[in-house]
Amino acid sequence: MGNHVGIRQVALKANTSTATVSRALNNPNAVRPEVRARIDAAVRELGYIPDAAARALSSRRTQTVGAILPTVDNAMFARGIEALQKYLSSQGYLFLLATNDYDPEVEFRQVQNLVSRGIDGLILRGDIHSDELRQLLRHQRMPVVNVGVYHPDKSYASVGIDNVAAGRMACEYLIGLGHKRIGMIAALTGRNDRASGRVLGVRQALAEHGLAMRDEWYVEIPYHLDDARQGLRNIMLRDGEKPTALICGNDVIAYGAMLEAERRGFSVPQDLSVMGFDDLEWSRHLRPSLTTIHVPTDDIWTRAGEYVVHTLANQPVSLHHEVEVSLVVRESTAAPRSDQGA
Cα torsion 220, 196, 73, 111: sign: negative
The string of DSSP letters for 175-216 reads HHHT---EEEEEEP-TT-HHHHHHHHHHHHHHHHTT----GG
For 278-312, what is each residue's pLDDT tens digit?
999 999 999 999 999 999 999 999 999 999 999 99
User: Which residue type, as a one-letter code, is found at position 176?
Assistant: G
CA distances from 4 to 7, 26, 42, 245 (A): 10, 20, 15, 66
Decide if 64-161+296-325 and 163-295+327-340 have a common fold.
Answer: yes
Tell me the mean pLDDT in the region 107-129: 94
d(CA 246, CA 139): 45
Q: How far is CA 262 from the centre of its chain?
A: 30
Domain ranges of the chain: 7-50, 64-161+296-325, 163-295+327-340
For 125-139, what is each residue's pLDDT tens digit?
999 999 999 999 988
* Cβ atoms of 32 and 22 closer than 8 Å: no
% of the chain exceeding 70 in pLDDT: 95
pLDDT of residue 75: 84
| Residue spans of beta strands (DSSP E) within 218-298 | 218-221, 245-248, 273-275, 292-294
**Range 64-161+296-325 classified under CATH 3.40.220.10:** no
The hierarchical CATH code for the domain 163-295+327-340 is 3.40.50.2300
**Which H or E element spans position 322?**
strand 320-322
